[in-house]
A and B are shown apart, each in its own frame.
Chain A
Amino acid sequence: MIPELGHFLLVLALCVAAVLGTLPLLGAHQRRREWIVLARPAAQVFFLLTAASFVALGWSFYVNDFSVLYVAEHSNSLLPTVYRLAAIWGGHEGSLLLWMFMLSCWTVAVATLSRTLDETMVARVLGVLGLVATGLLLFVLFTSNPFERLLPAAQEGRDLNPLLQDPGLVFHPPMLYMGYVGFSVAFAFAIAALLSGRLDAAWARWSRPWTLTAWIFLTCGIALGSVWAYYELGWGGWWFWDPVENASFLPWLLGTALIHSLAVTEKRGSFKSWTVLLAIGAFSLSLLGTFLVRSGVLTSVHAFASDPRRGIFILLLLVLVVGSSLALFAWRAPKVALGGQFGLISRESLLLVGNVLLVVACGSVLLGTLYPLIVDALNLGKISVGPPYFNTVFVPLMAPALFLMAAVPLARWKHADVKDMARRLWIAGALAIVGAIAIPMLMGGWTFLTGLGTLLSVWIAASMILQMIARLKSGIPPLSFWGMQLGHLGVAVFVMGVTLVGGFQEEKDVRMEPGDIVTVGGHEFKFIGITAVNGPNYKAARGEFQVIRNNVPTRTLYPEKRTYVSSEMPMTEAAIDPGVTRDVYVSLGEPLEGKAWAVRVYFKPFVDWIWGGCLLMALGGICAASDRRYRMRVKAAAAARTTALQGASS
């Protein structure tokens, strides 16, 4: 009953989304108020219906209803409850329902939090979101229904892939999807602006906090995915330039360009068409990512089971959404007036250079990801494009952008005083050069890449910190200032982490018997022994390793080799001792003859700075989005309403 109800709720949600996607838009065009005011309530009903449907699927998982095909394929009665619920998005159909749920959350958020925005604009924004929802719901209902029944019901489910039975599954997809889907709001604002012909600084001020929030979620989502791969897969890597990883990175790159471009449009009224194009682009990349991951055109460890029929549908959706937006852009954008004047060297132009670099980086990652497909489509054979290509290409592209990052905040609007900038930057430059030589040498040896990485990182960090000190002299700066500083500082921390771990990590693959010691990165690891343990749905061999530093035992690590009830594939659960300056990482391989085991031990200096940097970036985004001027409008509107009410009642 519940699954059928869930299905029915989705059909209802489709009807409401269709209404939301048509009437308010027509109403805005024809100035019919009775259709315009439908937008908010329709959005709210859409949210309730989608949420209820999502809960229905969750319920089916919770009660182990194996008569639902999707539950039978992705769950198991021995699966711990938390993973039973996270399994909702463990496969294609359910993850799409998560997409829809997130879209309904963002839609209702816009409907609720935009009381002070002109209702015609709100109608257009919600209308566009409704259209996107309609397209996706059609896709779900026609090709990917999560409520399909399996009759006769299975006795037991196939179980969730053991790799996914991890806290990572609970947080990474929802965060990531909040980001992906969040860019639909920026997209909706952009389309609304093009439709109405009103493209100005006020539009940018409205769009910016929503875009920032989506960007924050995407940053966290990608970082979580990276951390999860790092500790789960057992080989210490954190980014593989896999097509699905790239699919999440592409909208992030354009999204970063977008938030910077929006800042200029908001403050100076410039770059309007460019910002709109970026907003369309970021969401288009989200949709493209959805296509790449679910259509089977690219090979990836993350890809969902592919079905060409689904691929055709998503491609059609992509063509409709992106094609019509870009056509609208081509038609309406030329009519947008130019913003204010600015000099060849100014904050505006430097931000534009940064934008261009980010867009080029995005284009390059897209090129590398799609190249095998392009070559194959042209019947020129099959090639692979992997990490060596991306690493070779990405670093030189990003280096100039990183260099600029330290300088741009010091550039004045309209006309930058280069001499003044140089005067304020030379200390940071000197510190950077010292750091670039000293840090790699202290870590163990200088190479060009480690030198470059530390140079850029110290350059940015020093510049930011010096700016903060200088600015604090004249009072506490607003949150938007902290946002910028934290965000850029986060990038510096990230770059330092990547450089140091890439340049100075150590690993050893050894054969250990109980009592043996292996030394890696100045730490000694003593293998104590193996015990057999039983988990809720797996059996494991648990190793015990004593970590010794400077002859003092510090921690004990317990890596496991698990065999899950549902699959014979043994899984390795690495044991990690995280630290601010280093991670030590022990991973069990195979049992060898006698009591010996193959063990892999890693020393990863400063690896947590990678994700610490991402966290700082997200914090920066939160500061920027929370700036007073976004909240003031709400307060002002509330004040206006109270006085109006008082006036009416007196």
Chain B
Amino acid sequence: MKRWIALLLLALAVGSGWAKEAEPLADDPAVEQRLINIADEMRCLVCQNESLASSRADLAVDLRKELREQIRLGRTDDEIREFMVSRYGDFVLYRPRVKPVTWLLWAGPFVLMIAGVVVLMMYLRRRNRVTAQAATLSQDESSRAEALLKEAEL
């Protein structure tokens, strides 16, 4: 009887106790998620174009540690961005701030699109007029030709 109970307990232990749900690597997943959201839009300064979130460089690891501290201290996203920009300049942000030097960058695509469509509309209208004129002129010409022919017949 004891052997059966022992075996049963062993089976239960093996079956359930070992298969435990893995813990998140981060101490605080909520903080970590915020860190990734912020660091994803920042540049790793010593890499050849990688984000601060995914880089494995030493400085990136240090900076992520620093940003985690800032998040725990309750700073807002804007404050954290300011923290980084005041130390490393605008270069560290992958999303360029909207200031006079980047107006052309942010407005450019939409200005281009509107300009493109407007120019296209103007071009199409003019083109239609030109080709339509060519058609009516020939109509004109053909009626003149008809009239001349009629004259010649008479």
Chain A residues in the interface with B (C-beta under 8 A): 235, 237, 240, 242-243, 299-301, 303, 338, 340-344, 349, 352-353, 356-357, 359-361, 363-364, 367-368, 371, 375, 380-389, 392-393, 396-397, 508-513, 515-519, 526-527, 589, 598-599
Contact = CB atoms under 8 A, between A and B. Distances in A.
Centre residue among A382, A384, A511, A527 by max chain B CB count within 10 A: A384
Interface in B17-52: 18-26, 32, 41, 43, 47-51
A301 B49 contact: yes
Interface in B59-111: 89-96, 101-102, 104-106, 108-110
Contacts of A509: 24-26, 32
Given A388-B94, A515-B20, A519-B21, A380 B101 contact: yes
A526 B48 contact: no
Contacts, number: 142
A598 B48 contact: no
A516 B90 contact: no
Contact of A360 (B19, B20, B96, B109): B109
B51 A386 contact: yes
B104 to A, nearest CB: 8
Contacts of B47: 301
B145 interface: no
Interface of B: 18-26, 32, 41, 43, 47-51, 54, 89-96, 101-102, 104-106, 108-110, 112-113, 116-117, 120, 124-125, 127-128, 130-132, 135
Nearest to B17: A515
Given A357-B116, A516-B22, 5 more contacts: A341-B132, A344-B124, A384-B93, A513-B22, A517-B19
A371 to B, nearest CB: 5
Contact of A511 (B24, B50, B125): B24
Contacts of A512: 22
B48 A381 contact: no
A268 B126 CA distance: 19
A57 B130 CA distance: 58
Contact of B49 (A300, A361, A515): A300
Contacts of A361: 109
A385 B94 contact: yes
Contacts of A598: 25
Contacts of A299: 48-49
A589 B54 CA distance: 12
A352 B124 CA distance: 10
Contact of A338 (B49, B125, B130): B130
A386 B105 contact: no
Nearest to A339: B131
Contacts of B120: 352-353, 356
6 contacts: A359-B116, A383-B91, A384-B91, A385-B96, A385-B105, A516-B22
A363 B20 contact: no
A389 B105 contact: yes
Contact of A389 (B20, B21, B96, B112): B96
Nearest to A345: B124
Given A359-B116, A385-B94, A343 B128 contact: yes
B102 A526 contact: no
Contact of B22 (A341, A392, A527): A527
Contacts of A599: 22
A511 B120 CA distance: 58
Given A352-B120, A511-B23, A364 B109 contact: yes
Contacts of B101: 375, 380-381, 383
A384 B24 contact: no
B48 A389 contact: no
A517 B21 contact: yes
A386 B43 contact: yes
A60 B69 CA distance: 54
A487 B135 CA distance: 37
Given A235-B54, A397-B113, A364 B108 contact: yes
Given A383-B102, A511-B22, A364 B112 contact: yes
Contacts of B94: 384-389
Given A352-B124, A512-B22, A519-B21, A386 B89 contact: no
B60 to A, nearest CB: 13
A341 B89 contact: no
A388 B24 CA distance: 27
A518 B50 CA distance: 28
A516 B112 CA distance: 54
A512 B21 CA distance: 9
Contacts of A240: 49
Q: Which of B25, B89, B131 has the most CB of A within 10 A?
A: B25
A243 B48 CA distance: 11
Most buried by B among A392, A397, A510, A599: A510
Contact of A518 (B22, B89, B96): B22
B20 A516 contact: yes
A341 B109 contact: no
A361 B109 CA distance: 7
A165 B124 CA distance: 53
Contacts of A242: 49
A272 to B, nearest CB: 13
A341 B132 CA distance: 7
Nearest to A363: B112
Contacts of B18: 515
A164 B110 CA distance: 38
Nearest to A514: B18
In the complex, the 4 A-B pairs of residues with the closest C-beta atoms, listed nearest first: A386-B94, A388-B95, A364-B109, A341-B131
Given A352-B124, A386-B41, A386-B51, A381 B19 contact: no
A140 B74 CA distance: 57
B117 A353 contact: yes
Contacts of A356: 113, 116-117, 120
A45 B117 CA distance: 48
Contacts of B106: 389, 393
A526 B19 contact: yes
Nearest to A393: B109
